[in-house]
Amino acid sequence: MDEQILYYTNKFRQSKGLKPLQLDETISQQARRHSRDMANGSTGFGHEGFEDRVANVSRKMGRVSSAAENVAYGTLDAEAVVNGWIKSPGHRRNMLGDYTLIGIGTADKGRITFFTQVFIKQ
């Protein structure tokens, strides 16, 4: 599903004249961990620990000049979750932001999927 989320995210960005984001495994590891933590209840739904995720990326990849994060959950497919973010002003702003890299992670809890996108500009 991560590749599909990337596809719809980049399709939206390109429709606005922006360059596509590059999927990065180091960032995706942080996104997957956050989705997993939300799914298993070890952290609440939201952005708790975002600064730590960015710091972990910075330690592994070098300086991060800006970062943002989108989260969602539900019985959604990739297109539906991206469309939901597009309709939300804050999430939309993140998707259209001046970022070059993205990490995507999902985790399931029963029929519910938890989604995380982490946007990075170095």
Q: Which pLDDT band holds residue 34 (cuts at 50, 70, 90)? A: very high
Contact between residue 18 and residue 37 where contact means Cβ atoms under 8 Å apart: no
pTM higher than the cut 0.85: yes
Q: Do 113 and 107 form a contact (C-beta atoms < 8 A)?
A: yes
**5 near 82, Cβ under 8 Å?**
yes
List CB contacts of 81: < 8 A, sequence separation 6 or more: 5, 72, 74, 113, 115
**Which whole number is the average pLDDT over 52-71?**
96
Per-residue pLDDT, 5: 99
Express each pLDDT in 8-25 by its tens digit.
999 999 999 999 999 999
> How many Å apart are CA 53 and CA 77, to the nearest integer?
25
Phi, psi of 20 (to 5 degrees): -70, 150
Average pLDDT over residues 30-41: 98
Q: What pLDDT score was predicted for residue 83?
A: 98
Find the CATH number of the domain harbouring 58. 3.40.33.10
Domain of residue 64: give its range.
2-121
| Number of domains forming the structure of the chain | 1
Query: Per-residue pLDDT averaged across 48-52, rounded?
Result: 94
